[in-house]
């Protein structure tokens, strides 16, 4: 049973699932498709200094803030992690993340490899998931489709070269998923969340409560 539905004293803090992938792999689409399938799971809303793209909403896709405001927040240690990605600043709000975890909600952070490293150092129980495109050629094709809307050729080449470096970080993650089809990718991700929730380490509190009841049982 998801931790968010546990009551009072039994409630354990939520778990962090960190999802990273090269730009264009489709990680946000995958996570958005996952959320309605798993109760007690939410996606974190990051802060960024980059301007919104057409259709993006403040407070939904990102908290869009000025670079000055971001730097103030960063200097005030308001971020759990932060990084510069493609010249823009991105970060995960610390207070909001802790509040939601304390409520027992599990959270997915869709963040880059630098931020994932920071989260790993802060929270040894965070689960790292790396999503890979099936091949460099497929990634290039997906980025080219996107370049028609918001990427210049130079930005596209930069994303491909960053992707090559990011893929080298895969061994630091617990799981690797290859995004061949959206459906299979979402299913693998769902299975990872379900399995991690059932791991003995995650269930320590609830499992110990049942074991204690057995010890005290007069039957």
- The residues that touch ligand 5GP, with contacts defined as CB under 6 A, are 23, 46, 50, 81, 83, 85, 90-92, 110-112, 114-115
Nearer to ligand 5GP, 105 or 197 (CB): 105
Q: How far is the CB of 175 from ligand 5GP (least distance, A)?
A: 16
Nearer to ligand 5GP, 39 or 84 (CB): 84
Q: Which residue is nearest to ligand 5GP (CB)?
A: 115
Q: How far is the CB of 38 from ligand 5GP (least distance, A)?
A: 20
Nearer to ligand 5GP, 33 or 206 (CB): 33
Distance of CA 132 to the CA centre of its chain: 14
Nearer to ligand 5GP, 131 or 202 (CB): 131
Nearer to ligand 5GP, 41 or 83 (CB): 83
Q: How far is the CB of 179 from ligand 5GP (least distance, A)?
A: 14
Q: How far is the CB of 82 from ligand 5GP (least distance, A)?
A: 6
Q: How far is the CB of 199 from ligand 5GP (least distance, A)?
A: 25
In sequence order, the 6+-apart residues with CB closer than 8 A to the CB of 15 are 3, 101, 106, 107, 125, 126, 127, 196, 197, 202
Q: How far is the CB of 189 from ligand 5GP (least distance, A)?
A: 15
Nearer to ligand 5GP, 83 or 186 (CB): 83
Nearer to ligand 5GP, 11 or 64 (CB): 64
What the block records as the tokens of 128 is 């790292």
Q: How far is the CB of 52 from ligand 5GP (least distance, A)?
A: 10
The full DSSP string for the chain is --GGG--GGG-----EEEEE--TTS-HHHHHHHHGGGSTTEEE---EESSPPPTT--BTTTBEE--HHHHHHHHHTT-EEEEEEETTEEEEEEHHHHHHHHHTT-EEEEE--HHHHHHHHHH-TTPEEEEEE-S-HHHHHHHHHHHHHHH--HHHHHHHHHHHHHHHTTGGGSSEEEE-SSHHHHHHHHHHHHHHHHHSTTTTHHHHHHHHHHHHH---
């Amino acid at each position: 049973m998801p931790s968010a539905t546990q009551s009072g004293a039994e409630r354990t803090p939520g778990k962090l699932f960190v999802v990273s992938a090269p730009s264009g792999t489709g990680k946000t689409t995958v996570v958005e498709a996952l959320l309605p399938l798993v109760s007690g799971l939410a996606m974190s809303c990051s802060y960024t200094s980059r301007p919104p793209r057409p259709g993006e909403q403040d407070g939904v896709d990102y908290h869009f803030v000025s670079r000055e405001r971001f730097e103030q927040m960063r200097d005030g240690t308001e971020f759990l992690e932060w990084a510069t990605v493609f010249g823009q600043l991105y970060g995960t709000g610390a207070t909001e993340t802790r509040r939601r975890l304390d409520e027992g909600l599990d959270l997915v952070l869709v963040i880059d490899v630098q931020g994932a490293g920071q989260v790993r150092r802060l929270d040894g129980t965070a689960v790292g998931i790396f999503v890979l495109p099936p091949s460099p050629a497929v990634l290039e094709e997906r980025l080219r489709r996107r370049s028609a809307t918001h990427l210049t050729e130079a930005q596209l080449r930069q994303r491909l070269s960053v992707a090559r470096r990011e893929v080298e970080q895969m061994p630091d993650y617990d799981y690797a998923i290859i995004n061949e089809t959206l459906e299979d990718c979402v299913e693998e991700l769902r299975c990872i969340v379900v399995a991690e929730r059932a791991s003995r380490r995650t269930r320590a509190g609830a499992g110990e409560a049942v074991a204690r009841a057995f010890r005290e049982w007069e039957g």
